[in-house]
């Protein structure tokens, strides 16, 4: 009913500003503002669809800011209402570092795992960073691989680290048959992981339009999701863009939507490694001379 009333009356009235509209127009504008706010406080999925329709309606353009604020509030309310209180057995398993008790636990676990994967890519002698690049016949990196190929590498690394019973799959299905790059699930809840290269044309739009609008609206996610950016630094300003991307997440969503970056550029030799290399190539003193100096 509220959706219908806002849709019916909204085009005929304007939000109240400091310009002092006449008395006949004040009351409906106040009502419309109250109704739009009330929609944001409702946790049901029909409200989600209704707010989306109102935002798409050209005749409601003058109410767009109010509707966007209401939708942001609604997302938080939906996510909070989907929280599952763990039973004692789940709590015991979580405290024993076996399985996550809810979506929040799973989200935290994935952040920790991806941080570990990132460290291994940068510092492991296996040179995992090479797997994200197309190479020439001499093994020199030439260009970044497609996102799906990069996803497959991350998925395999992820599977090796997940606790028993926690599953990870590619192309996880969500609302309207939309698919996240990776879906990690356990015990009736799941976390979507959307992966983008730092050079992707939809790097900025993928966060709100895919991860937030299409994936984390699934009640089983509890509103949690991970936006994973692969840093190839082909444009030279990758770090700045990723930081700006993190800042773009609204304050209400920052505890549930995580923007992570994994650096897959070729590692540069560290200063300590260079010093060690020089030390290893220095001529050594005879043992007798060493004892004499001691």
Distance CA 271, CA 121 (A): 19
Q: 1 in helix, strand or coil?
A: coil
**Taking phi first (over 0 means left), then psi (-120 to 50 degrees means alpha), and beta for anything else, what does residue 66 get?**
alpha
pTM for the model stands at: 0.64
- The count of other CB atoms within 10 Å of the CB of residue 128 is 16
pLDDT score for 14: 85
Q: 86 in helix, strand or coil?
A: coil
- Strand 179-186 to strand 167-173: parallel, antiparallel, or no bridges (unpaired)? antiparallel
pLDDT score for 271: 47
pLDDT score for 97: 54
What's the burial of 4, exposed, middle or buried (CB within 10 Å: 0-12/13-18/19+)? Answer: exposed
Mean pLDDT in consecutive groups of 10 residues from the start of the chain, 294 residues = 88 72 64 87 82 90 88 76 59 61 90 93 84 90 92 94 92 79 93 94 89 84 93 79 89 89 82 42 40 42
What tokens appear for 61 in the block?
A: 């353009």
Contact yes or no for 160/201 (Cβ under 8 A): no
Closest of 108, 177, 121, 190 to residue 150, by C-alpha: 121
Contact yes or no for 71/22 (Cβ under 8 A): no
pLDDT score for 279: 36
């Amino acid at each position: 009913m509220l959706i219908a009333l806002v849709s019916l009356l909204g085009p005929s009235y304007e939000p109240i500003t400091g310009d002092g509209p006449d008395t006949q127009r004040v009351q409906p504008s106040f009502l419309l503002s109250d109704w739009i706010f009330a929609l944001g406080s409702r946790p049901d999925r029909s409200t989600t669809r209704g707010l989306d329709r109102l935002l798409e309606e050209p005749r409601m353009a003058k109410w767009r800011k109010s509707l966007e604020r209401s939708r942001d509030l609604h997302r938080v309310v939906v996510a909070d209402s989907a929280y599952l209180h763990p039973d004692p057995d789940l709590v015991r398993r979580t405290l024993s570092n076996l399985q996550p008790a809810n979506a929040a636990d799973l989200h935290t676990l994935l952040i920790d795992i991806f941080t570990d994967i990132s460290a291994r890519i940068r510092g492991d002698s296996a040179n995992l960073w090479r797997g994200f690049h197309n190479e020439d016949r001499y093994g020199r990196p030439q260009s970044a691989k497609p996102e799906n190929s990069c996803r497959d590498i991350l998925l395999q690394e992820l599977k090796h680290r997940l606790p028993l019973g926690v599953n990870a799959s590619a192309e996880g299905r969500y609302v309207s048959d939309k698919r996240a790059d990776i879906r990690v699930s356990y015990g009736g809840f799941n976390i979507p992981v959307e992966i983008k290269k730092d050079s992707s044309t939809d790097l900025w739009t993928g966060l709100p339009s895919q991860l937030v609008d299409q994936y984390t609206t699934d009640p089983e996610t509890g509103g949690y999701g991970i936006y994973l950016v692969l840093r190839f630094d082909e444009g030279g300003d990758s770090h700045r863009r990723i930081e700006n991307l993190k800042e773009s997440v609204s304050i209400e969503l920052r505890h549930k939507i995580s923007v992570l970056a994994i650096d897959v550029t070729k590692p540069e030799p560290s200063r300590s490694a260079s010093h060690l290399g020089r030390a290893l190539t220095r001529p050594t003193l005879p043992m007798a001379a060493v004892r004499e100096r001691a």
